Amino acid sequence: MKPGVRNSLADVTGVLVGHHHALDPDATTADESTPGTGSATGCTVIRVPGGATASVDVRGGGPGTRETDLLEPSNTIQQVHAVLLSGGSAYGLAAADGVMRWLEEHGEGIPMGQPGQVVPIVSGAVIFDLPVGDWATRPTAEFGYRAADAAATDFATGSVGAGVGARAGSLKGGVGTASVTITGGVADGVTVGALVVANPVGSVVDPRLGLPWGTATDGPASFGLRAPDESQRSAFVDLAPKGTTLNTTIGVVATDAALSSSACRRMAITAHDGLARAIRPAHSPLDGDTMFALATGTFVASDAGDPLPSAFPQELPMMGAVCAASAVCVERAIVGAVLAATSVAGIPAYRELLSSAFA
């Protein structure tokens, strides 16, 4: 596998990403005695013009989701037109109404008869960020509409969109993305990408080394990192998590391979392997860890290889490579989110607290 052109989810042809958020410079984090102030929340929309085959896998004990039952491979609808990732806990699901409005205005959805009569399918998941900034400020339908309208191949990462109020253990979380192009085998040339909102209860940094857990697979040098100074590592170890432990990491993995809904489900399942490599512990009772999987089918394989026995899905050889790549992309995307994040509401960012790690 080699990095994608942009190293982002948008390297998958047919996938666009947009953010919208509200962030006040004076935002503060709530604690037991003082309410948070200022706006610090947002949403991120992954839009797939024309729709994409989709599925989902929910592993956390406290999920907040929309239209996930619909994505079961045994159900009738096999495609989505957008995925919403939002702050605001359950309140943030309201942003999906704005995404639907944008899609309907642009004729995106399941055709239902007369021209313009469509039903957009928008799945979604939320993170718990309410104590960051003003508790009463949450993403609304207008947030979702603006994020859908902003969707493009170029987009920001870090403390943006759904990642504005994200917290990764004791550090600032955020939005991260990564992609790879598979080399060799029947999946040669297939692109896989991921976008993750890193907001876990667990830690994203190995306290012994001061490096993100997710750098273990490729090595810290691949992210431009080295072991930080001992004094900064000690300061990090002594840092106590602030506020609530009700968090959640959510994201999307996508590929340009033509996969069925059941194959997408398998891709979503293995995406959680990457989450568990980069976050410790993962999938806790207090997390709502949710991964969506999309297949746009824009890649045409030049050689499908020898056919399998009829008892096996013919996409199986490609699935193995795509699933492995999805885990790698999620792992890298979580590291990217932590490295790109900047401090919000007094939550320290990795690049500020462990600045000596940057070679």
Q: What are the 10-residue block averages of pLDDT along the chain, 359 residues in total?
A: 90 97 92 84 98 95 93 91 97 98 96 89 96 95 98 98 95 97 91 97 92 94 94 81 71 96 96 96 89 93 59 70 96 98 95 92
Tens of pLDDT, residues 297-311: 998 765 555 665 555
CATH number, domain 2-25+37-300+315-357: 3.60.70.12
Residue from 244, 250, 283, 33 nearest 130 by CA: 244
Rounded Cα gap, residues 38 and 29, in angstroms:
9
Confidence (pTM) = 0.94
Residue from 234, 214, 233 nearest 173 by CA: 214
Cα 267 to Cα 2, 21, 53, 94, 155: the distances in Å are 19, 29, 12, 27, 24
Q: With contact defined as beta carbons under 8 Å apart, do 256 and 5 qualify?
A: no
Residue 113 has a pLDDT of: 82
Cα first-last separation, the chain: 24
In a 13 Å sphere around the CA of 212, the CA atoms on its Cβ side amount to: 38
The residue extents of the domains of the chain are 2-25+37-300+315-357
Phi, psi dihedral angles at 331 (to 5 degrees): -60, -50
Residue 1 has a pLDDT of: 82
Cβ count near 263 (within 10 Å): 24
Q: Which helix (H) or strand (E) holds 178?
A: strand 174-181
Residue 307 has a pLDDT of: 60
Residue 241 has a pLDDT of: 60
Tens of pLDDT, residues 199-232: 999 999 999 999 999 999 999 999 999 999 999 9
Residue 60 has a pLDDT of: 86
Residue 355 has a pLDDT of: 95
Q: Which helix (H) or strand (E) holds 290?
A: strand 290-295
Residue 62 has a pLDDT of: 87
Pairing of strands 122-126, 79-86: parallel
In a 13 Å sphere around the CA of 159, the CA atoms on its Cβ side amount to: 24
Tokens of residue 193, six digits: 């990408």
Partners of 123 in beta bridges? 83
Rounded Cα gap, residues 11 and 23, in angstroms:
28
